[in-house]
Structure 1
Amino acid sequence: MTASFLILRIGDTRLALPMTAVREVLPLLPIDAPPGLPRPLLGFVTLQGRPVPVLAPHLLLDPHAPLAGIDLFAHLVRLRDDICLLVDRAEDVVTGAVGPLAPGHSLNAAITGELPLADGEVAHVVAVDRLLLDGERATLAALTAAAATRQDQWTAT
């Protein structure tokens, strides 16, 4: 089956997100990072007056990966479930058929296949709903609510 995907670059890795999961691609915005956040949560950006969490997908897929500096030309990919992913680059939108995944590359079932690209490389297809566990989603929701409360307190003064 053929579908449309947003191709992302994170370091040397290319990921493919189904376009059905993508709300918009944004330039890098100021990220508010209060202390004590879990490692994959970089902080929050303010969109339409509300905090939206920003996650580092490479840390979700590999918790031991180093956290490098953020490039000024990075992109935020806002997902339909109101989470942003910080990526080095949102490269292109392509249409293609997903091929089988090489054994051992599933990364906790978050990677569901490989998408061949025109340049001969492949992009790993990400199942967005599998990036976070249910408990992680609940924690993220609580942290986002706390960020909204903090933001409301600052604007009320």
Structure 2
Amino acid sequence: MTASFLILRIGDTRLALPLSAVREVLPMLPIDASPGLPVPILGFVLLQGAPVPVLAPLMLLDPLARVDTVALSAHLVRLRDGGPCLLVDRAEDVASGNVAPVSPDHSLNAAIIGELPVGDDVAHVIAPDRLLLDGERATLAALTAAAARRAQQWNAA
């Protein structure tokens, strides 16, 4: 079965995100990074007055990785269904194709579910619903609610 994917660049790595999981691709926006946020939450962006968490997929897939600088050419990929934004170096293209399976041994939390041929290269297909564990989703929801309360307090002041 052929599916469509958004091809993302993070450093030297290419990821393929199912297009059905993508709400929108945004240019780099100011990220409000409150102190004490757990890795891999970089902070929050305000979209239509509501805070949306920004995650670093690089740190989700490699817990030892760090995001030191963010280029102005970076993109935020907002996931559907109230999902977070993913910070990527670049949203490169949309591609269609058949996904080759990948061994579960080569996938962190089973988040990488296959490989998509892209030209002479391969993009790792990620399942957005597997990027976070249930406990991490609950923590992210609590932090997002706290950010929304802070934003309301600032607006009321």
Tell me the TM-score range normalised by the shorter chain.
over 0.9
Unaligned regions of 5+ residues in structure 1, if any? none
Structure 1 residue 103, shift from structure 2 partner: 6.6
In the superposition, the TM-score normalised over structure 2's length comes to 0.97
Q: Which amino acid aligns with 1:71?
A: A
Q: Output the aligned Cα RMSD.
A: 1.0
Matched ranges for 1:1-157 at <5 A: 1-81=1-81, 82-101=83-102, 104-118=105-119, 120-157=120-157
In the superposition, the TM-score normalised over structure 1's length comes to 0.97
Closer/same/farther in 2, CA of residues 45 and 135 from structure 1, 3 Å limit: same
The 3-state SS of whatever aligns with 2:15 is strand
After the TM superposition, list the runs of 4 or more consecutive aligned residues in structure 1 that deviate by more than 6 angstroms: none
How far apart in 2 are the matches of 1:52 and 1:66?
Answer: 21
Unaligned regions of 5+ residues in structure 2, if any? none
How far apart in 2 are the matches of 1:99 and 1:11?
Answer: 23
The 3-state SS of whatever aligns with 1:72 is coil
Q: Identity over aligned residues, as a percent?
A: 75
How far apart in 2 are the matches of 1:109 and 1:102?
Answer: 9
Q: Which amino acid aligns with 1:23?
A: R
How far apart in 1 are the matches of 2:43 and 2:66?
Answer: 17
Closer/same/farther in 2, CA of residues 134 and 103 from structure 1, 3 Å limit: closer
Q: How many correspondences in the alignment?
A: 156
